[in-house]
Amino acid sequence: MRKKVAFYTLGCKLNFSETSTIARSFTEEGFDRVDFSEKADIYVINTCSVTENADKRFKTIVKQAQKSNSEAFVAAVGCYAQLKPEQLADVNGVDLVLGATEKFKITDYLNDLSKNDYGEVHSCEIEEADFYVGSYSVGDRTRAFLKVQDGCDYKCTYCTIPLARGISRSDTMDNVLKNAREISAQNIKEIVLTGVNIGDYGKGEFGNKKHEHTFLDLVTELDKVEGIERLRISSIEPNLLKNETIDLVSKSRAFVPHFHIPLQSGSNTILKKMKRRYMRELYVDRVSKIREVMPHACIGVDVIVGFPGETDEHFLETYNFLSELDISYLHVFTYSERDNTEAAEMEGIVLGNVRSKRSKMLRGLSVKKRRAFYENQLNSSKTVLFESENKEGYIHGFTENYVKVKAPWNPELVNTLHPVELTKIDDDGIVRFEFL
């Protein structure tokens, strides 16, 4: 009997690409992949450490696995497994915890699948995470997440990612292009470029800090890969998003007019405390440049509320800054203390109820921003890529500039691109259209 393995991914697009690569290594070893809700012999949970919530959810997911099969072998990998391996190993039911360098070799650790009395830990000193493992996700969605870079050399005071993933390092240009061709050969219509700090691409390309390629070189070459209908840049730091890249996207064959640019705060005082590498003036400049060459582009923003020392005045500075900025939506994060970060030691702790209130205000602003952006797109012609899920009798899809649309379920539309005219916004905030 072939053994069955199931995966659960917490966190970011990068984690999804890595889970998919780890899953392929199991398939090569003769395992059958099943859904996480089904009975499996092994459950692999790819963890995240970015929010408090991800920590708590881990225990719930382990329980879920044990409910499906109390005798199953449970392995934890990923960022939280690197940062707090002993803590995860202590969770009832966990048999194996693998850190940053070990996760891609997980099948080497599975000689014996019998349950352990306690979780076995294999995690390195993060300084050892200095080599690059390429990965991409396929088979889960109509789009693939292609990892091009890992780790981060920035020292933002709230962030544990450099502790969880190590120094900034990149895939070679040849390997990225090879992976992109492999993806396009599988009839996947859209590739999302992902990494920890993708604008830093090129650094560590040869296992040291020397490199010959930049992010601009990467997007230039990827734009030439045949068979890929759409390429999307995931989150990119404002100080690394250069005019040349914006110009390339505006004229590109495949890159879509959608940018996700972390801001984190609209107050320069707080940005300095966060040790971000720009001031708000640079952010305005990036948005203006995008709007100048792509008025219809979608611009998403990450923002953190409740950072230590954020007064009501600082928060209102952020709120008003975002309110006036021509952006399309927000991803709002409520600050949570992380061990071994500078921010955790800072004075001026913001009360939990104040953090919640500020988060709610910005989420409300995001709803208004998205609505205004969608209204602005009505009566225009776009191309929609349809997703694979039947949600309450509807099929959903996204235009190139990330407007979400829906139509009555039709399985023939799945993973196809169609020209449409956007006609009206439904009661649920999703856009209706007519085929052209």
pLDDT, tens only, 204-256: 877 666 678 999 999 999 999 998 999 999 899 999 999 999 999 999 999 99
Range of the structural domain that residue 199 is part of: 135-376
What are the angstrom distances between the C-alpha of 234 and each of 15, 267, 300, 346?
A: 13, 24, 10, 31
Q: Are residues 78 and 160 in the same domain?
A: no
- Dist. CA 206–CA 209, nearest whole Å: 8
Nearest to 410 by CA among 382, 391, 426: 391
**Domain's final residue, options 335, 351, 376:** 376
- The confidence band for 146, taking pLDDT boundaries of 50, 70 and 90, is very high
More confident: 125 or 34: 34
Predicted local confidence at residue 133, as pLDDT: 78
> 81 with 123: CB under 8 angstroms?
yes
- CATH number for 156: 3.80.30.20
| Same domain for 262 and 313 | yes
pLDDT for the residue numbered 62: 95
Q: Measure CA 88 to chain center.
A: 23
Residue 124 binned pLDDT confidence (cut-offs 50, 70, 90) = low
> Does one domain contain both 162 and 69?
no
CATH for 22: 3.40.50.12160
Binning pLDDT at 50, 70 and 90, where does residue 127 land? confident
Same domain, 202 and 320: yes
Alpha helices in 107-156, H assignment, sequence order: none
Cα dist from 18 to 5, 135, 379, 416, whole Å? 15, 6, 39, 25
Answer with the one of 376, 392, 418 that is the final residue of a domain. Answer: 376
Considering the domain architecture, whether residues 368 and 310 belong to the same structural domain is answered as yes
Q: What are the Cα distances from residue 294, in Å, to 123, 245, 247, 377?
A: 45, 12, 9, 13
Task: Record the tokens describing residue 266, joined without a space.
Answer: 């609209």
Q: Which of 139-148, 165-174, 183-192 has the lowest mean pLDDT?
A: 139-148
Mark whether 159 and 274 lie in a shared domain. yes
Nearest to 57 by CA among 68, 71, 45: 45
State the average pLDDT for the chain: 93
CA–CA separation, 307 and 103 (whole Å) = 32
User: Judging by beta carbons within 10 Å of its beta carbon (0-12, 13-18, 19+), is residue 91 exposed, middle or buried?
Assistant: middle
Report whether 47 contacts 54 (CB < 8 A): yes
Residue 141 has pLDDT above 70, yes or no: no
Tens digits of residue pLDDT in 59-114: 999 999 999 999 999 999 999 999 999 989 999 999 999 988 899 999 888 866 66
Partners of 397 in the beta sheet? 386, 405
The average pLDDT across 422-432 equals: 97
User: Which one-letter DSSP state was computed for residue 392?
Assistant: T
* Tally of domains within the chain: 3
The residue out of 61, 92, 126 marking a domain boundary is 126
Q: What is the pTM of this model?
A: 0.90
Does the pLDDT value for residue 155 go beyond 70? yes
Specify the range with the lowest mean pLDDT, choosing from 126-130, 280-284, 368-372. 126-130
- Residue 162: half-sphere exposure toward Cβ, Cα within 13 Å: 13
What one-character DSSP code corresponds to residue 206?
Answer: T
Q: Are residues 154 and 298 in the same domain?
A: yes
363 plus 384 within the same structural domain: no
Calculate what percentage of the chain has a pLDDT beyond 90: 80
Asked if 362 and 403 sit in the same domain, the reply is no
Q: Are residues 244 and 98 in the same domain?
A: no
Q: Is the pLDDT of residue 53 over 80?
A: no
pLDDT of amino acid 149: 94
Taking Cα atoms as reference points, which of 127, 172, 173 lies closest to residue 153?
A: 127
State pLDDT tens for residues 2-23. Answer: 999 999 999 888 899 999 999 9
pLDDT attached to residue 101: 82
Together in a domain, 147 and 19: no
Please list, residue by residue across 415-435, b when 16 or more beta carbons sit within 10 angstroms of its beta carbon and e when fewer do.
Answer: bebeebebeebeeeeebebee
Same domain for 117 and 182: no
What pLDDT score does 114 carry? 67
